[in-house]
Amino acid sequence: MAKPLKILKRWLYLGHRWLGIVTCLLFAIWFVSGVVMMYVGFPALSDAERRAGLQPLRWGGVQISPSDALTAASQSRFPQDLRLQMLGTEPVYRVIAWNGARTVVSAQNGRLIDNVGGKQALAVAAQDPRAVRPSIIDEVTRDQWSVTARYDPLRPFHLIALGDPAGTRLYVSARTGEVALDTSRTERVWNWLGAIPHWIYLTPLRAQAELWREVVLWVSGISIVTAMTGFWIGVLRLRLRDRYRSGRVTPYRGWPAWHHLAGVIGGVTLIIFVVSGWLSMNPNRWFSSRVASQAKLERYAGTTEPSFALAVQDLKAAACTSAVELRLYHIGGRPQVTPLCRDSDQNSCCRDAPVPRERLLTAARQLLQDAPIARTTFLEAEDAYWYSHHQTRQLPVLRVEFADSESTWFHIDPATGEVLGGLDHSSRSRRWLFNGLHTLDFVVLLARRPAWDVVVWLLSIAGLIISLSGIVLGWRHLR
């Protein structure tokens, strides 16, 4: 029995040594880039930034009703999203179908708009409040910042520099004329030390979503083996009672001692970070989506007919002079209009009263037809499942909890009736296994910043010591 154990132990040491040579550089990159990501996220266009570049609706040009616009857009069902806003000096309906396809219909004459030239795109960019001297840089189909599939329906883009001190660039869709993305000089520089190495976000790889996912799963999976075998060896070589010569708890000196002791002290942290990062890629599709399905949202809307009962004069009556956008949708079969303003912090503006609570609950019961509502909670403050961190969470919010086998929750905007997202057992588990363990999104820490920053910095430094000492040892062994 002793011989097999000796062989197993030898392979444990050899496996960790060679895997460590390959992965310790990755560990160091992940810890450094993770700290950068605490303060600089990957470029994205927020709703507030998007609305800030829109002009107030000009009702004199709105001649086409929403129903006529849906007919012109050849919609067979009421779409996922329908909005009225300005494209330059022309009011347009923007339609997003359930398959993600986007259509733009002129509200003046009902014609389809599927080509926006550089001159018109420049005029759109000039409406951004940050614009100083807008100029077209190039037309791009896909680059480092617009690499993900979410931008596919909008490609290609007119890349426009605003000429402001922040070096802001806008991506204006050459198909629809909408601003899809903005980046600043700070984001573009720091992301090369942040999200790009951390997520392995190299454009040729990330452009192939499934291949990228498999690569990240395998790389992080191998890294888990490295971290676990290293921690196991560290515990085996540690002597707290029967110590080594000179009373040392480690048989090593110099860099090997740093690696051994740091690995024992910070090894659990390293394992947690790597395992939770691996789980973020949803291996084997274990975790469900937090987005409500089309079927549920259509039941909540109460209709699938590609029509909207309100006429142009009804839309105008529901808006106000400062509205830059109207969201058109249904709740329980009844048409809803939500006006949105440029400088509104909330999801809506110039609204006299919220949607009646009973109407919301009646429609919400259709989200899950086979399960009753177990509880409703009106959240006026953030909690462990509804909180702002690298994202904006609207408050107050109505949480509707169902008595189904998955204990499904839905969060609904009580003012507009919009379903903001859903959670079940699976997605709540992911919240703790990824957000909790990987980004330490614990409300008790986030509410007391910089406590969260200090904790993440200390744990990252511990992981970095393990990684750097491993790099030195690996280099010495190879040399």
| One domain for residues 52 and 172 | yes
| One domain for residues 171 and 56 | yes
Residue 244 pLDDT > 90: no
As given in the structure block, the two tokens for residue 251 are 């048989």
Residue 261 lies in a domain: yes
DSSP character for 107?
T
Which tens digit of pLDDT belongs to each residue from 84-115?
999 989 999 999 999 999 999 999 999 999 99
What band does 276 get if pLDDT is binned at 50, 70 and 90? Answer: very high
User: Which domain range does residue 271 map to?
Assistant: 2-40+204-287+449-478
| One domain for residues 240 and 147 | no
| One domain for residues 26 and 68 | no
Which of 13, 20, 17, 37 is CA-nearest to residue 468?
20
Within 8 A by CB and 6+ apart from 105, the residues are 64, 69, 72, 73, 92, 93, 95, 111, 112, 113
| One domain for residues 123 and 159 | yes
Residue 397 lies in a domain: no
Residue 132 lies in a domain: yes
| One domain for residues 64 and 170 | yes
Average pLDDT value for residue range 127-141: 95
Question: Domains in the chain: how many in total?
Answer: 2
Centre a 10 Å sphere on the Cβ of residue 336 and count the other Cβ atoms it contains.
Answer: 19
User: C-alpha distances in angstroms, 111 versus 53, 89, 281?
Assistant: 24, 15, 42
Q: Are 331 and 297 in contact (CB under 8 A)?
A: no
Residue 170 lies in a domain: yes
| One domain for residues 66 and 158 | yes
Residue 198 pLDDT > 70: yes
Q: With residue 377 as reference, give the H or E element that holds it.
A: strand 373-379
Residue 271 lies in a domain: yes
In degrees to the nearest 10, what's the CA dihedral of 116, 117, 120, 124? 60
Cα 60 from Cα 48, distance rounded (Å): 26
Residue 126 lies in a domain: yes
Residue 296 lies in a domain: no
Residue 73 lies in a domain: yes
Domain-terminating residue out of 161, 190, 219: 190
SS3 196: helix
Which tens digit of pLDDT belongs to each residue from 62-79?
999 999 999 999 999 999
| One domain for residues 175 and 254 | no
| One domain for residues 153 and 249 | no
Domain-terminating residue out of 158, 190, 222: 190
Which tens digit of pLDDT belongs to each residue from 381-405?
999 999 998 888 889 999 999 999 9
Average pLDDT of every residue of the chain: 92
Which tens digit of pLDDT belongs to each residue from 419-450?
999 999 999 999 999 999 999 999 889 888 89
| One domain for residues 155 and 184 | yes
Q: With residue 94 as reference, give the H or E element that holds it.
A: strand 90-96
| One domain for residues 150 and 230 | no
| One domain for residues 78 and 162 | yes
